[in-house]
Copies of this chain bind each other. A is one copy, B any other.
Amino acid sequence: MTQSIRPVKGFRFSAVSAGIKKVDSTRLDFALIVSDSPAEAAAVTTTNLVFAAPVEITRRRAARGRLSAVVINSGNANAFTGAKGLEDALDLTAAVAQSLKVDPELVAPMSTGVIGQPLPMERILPKVQELASGLDRGAFMDVATAILTTDTLPKTVLQKAEIGGIPVTMAGMAKGAGMIAPNMATLLCVILTDVKVESSFLREALAEAMRDSFNAITVDGDMSTNDTVIVLAGGHESAVELGSAHSDREAFRSLLNGACANLARKIVQDGEGVTKVVEVCVCGASDNEAAMQVARTIADSPLVKTAFHGEDPNWGRIICAAGRAGIAFAPDRVDLFIGNVPIVQEGTIVESDWEPAAHRRMKAGEFQVRLDLKSGDGEARILTTDLSEEYVSINADYRS
């Protein structure tokens, strides 16, 4: 275990090596998370029209609001694999359900890796029993490691809080080495908590948490075929129920928001070839959606991202990207800051010698760009990265 995550009451973990990508590999690539009793569940999956077989199954099963297990493989996305892919995913969850003695409808599959190749069922199915036998309350990090692909590090979070006098634990794991996009596959995230929360509220809270986390990193712009976030709440029969008081609900939302935001930031930080993490903050838009549209256009602009890489406070590229976002504002009123250094005020370049100061801010690994459109109260933030030569070489060489 590379990092200590204390168990979340009600959940057990297991990971084994099934040689999914390479027959003779000893890398962990097949993992299982099981709740002691059916947990309340919510899931968010990719909006890509082309989605993988496990996504189809997880969507349907999570929609019922309860899950007992999540089975995850890396090395193969089981995407663009047709009817055979769906059959394989169903067979896999059936085998897992049988070994756990639970209803197959309570098992959600997740896959990540290469697309267009059938799952090597002949190597996976014989490992199901070993996987189930190895379940352990302390093996959280084994699973967090088994789900990785091109990531350089496991990404985990542990949060504790007291809600309505009850101590609550929330732990999460994620994978995704995407910068502009997850590398052909996938943001996967599982969040576990020991408090029981009815699935309808869980679904609503997850949708909200997505907005400022996984949907506010540029990864989202290129949603892959397999992206999936699952939350399981209260995995044991005696789990305490979340109180219905408004303050309790808000405390839970805040915990979930924090966990998602933490994991989303870790995904950006571990992005391919990333040397800078930049928060693009747009305020003063007509509404929040307009602000996000402008922020996203800036955050996805290759010219802006290469300027970030060069630590070049090239305000012209930022303003120009904002101008083509399709959102109305008055260019002669805007303010622009890098860090806390004002560069443009009321649509005019400031007269002071701002450039060395702005350049200094950009030398840091993380900094903020803030654009105030002065046209309303809408505001949005998005985390983005620089675009480096290394990103290009990683992705140009991906399969060679």
Contacts and interface: CB of A to CB of B under 8 A. Distances in A.
Interface string A150-184: 00000000000000000000000000000011011
Contact of A116 (B225, B349, B395): B349
B307 A396 contact: yes
Contacts of A49: 322-325, 327-329, 331
A302 B181 contact: yes
Among A327, A349, A396, A399: residue with most chain B CB under 10 A: A396
Residue from A225, A301, A320, A349 whose CB has the most chain B CB atoms within 10 Å: A320
Contacts of A320: 48, 50, 115, 184, 222, 224-225
A395 B303 contact: yes
B303 A184 contact: yes
B301 A181 contact: yes
A50 B373 CA distance: 12
Contact of A222 (B47, B301, B307): B301
A339 interface: no
A319 B392 contact: no
A222 B317 CA distance: 10
Contact of A389 (B82, B302, B329, B389): B389
Residue picked from A222, A316, A331, most chain B C-beta under 10 Å: A316
A388 interface: yes
A349 B85 CA distance: 13
A315 interface: yes
A243 interface: no
Contact of A310 (B302, B327, B400): B400
A396 B323 CA distance: 21
A: contact size bracket: 35 or more
A53 to B, nearest CB: 12
Interface in A284-323: 301-303, 306-307, 309-310, 312, 314-317, 319-323
Interface SS majority for chain A = loop
Contact of A399 (B223, B224, B312): B312
A309 B388 CA distance: 15
Looking at A47, A116, A315, A329, the one whose CB has the most chain B CB atoms below 10 A away is A116
A102 to B, nearest CB: 31
A317 B396 CA distance: 12
A80 interface: yes
Interface in A16-61: 47-51
A398 B324 contact: no
A183 B323 contact: no
Contact of A314 (B51, B184, B319): B184
Nearest to A308: B396
A224 B329 CA distance: 16
Given A223-B324, A302-B181, A319-B50, A389 B393 contact: yes
B399 A331 contact: no
A348 interface: yes
**A-B interface, 3 closest residue pairs, ranked by CB to CB distance from nearest:** A50-B323, A310-B396, A306-B395
25 contacts: A48-B320, A48-B324, A49-B322, A49-B325, A79-B316, A80-B319, A80-B347, A82-B348, A114-B316, A116-B349, A180-B303, A181-B301, A184-B320, A222-B303, A222-B321, A302-B302, A303-B395, A306-B392, A307-B395, A309-B396, A310-B397, A310-B398, A310-B399, A312-B399, A312-B400
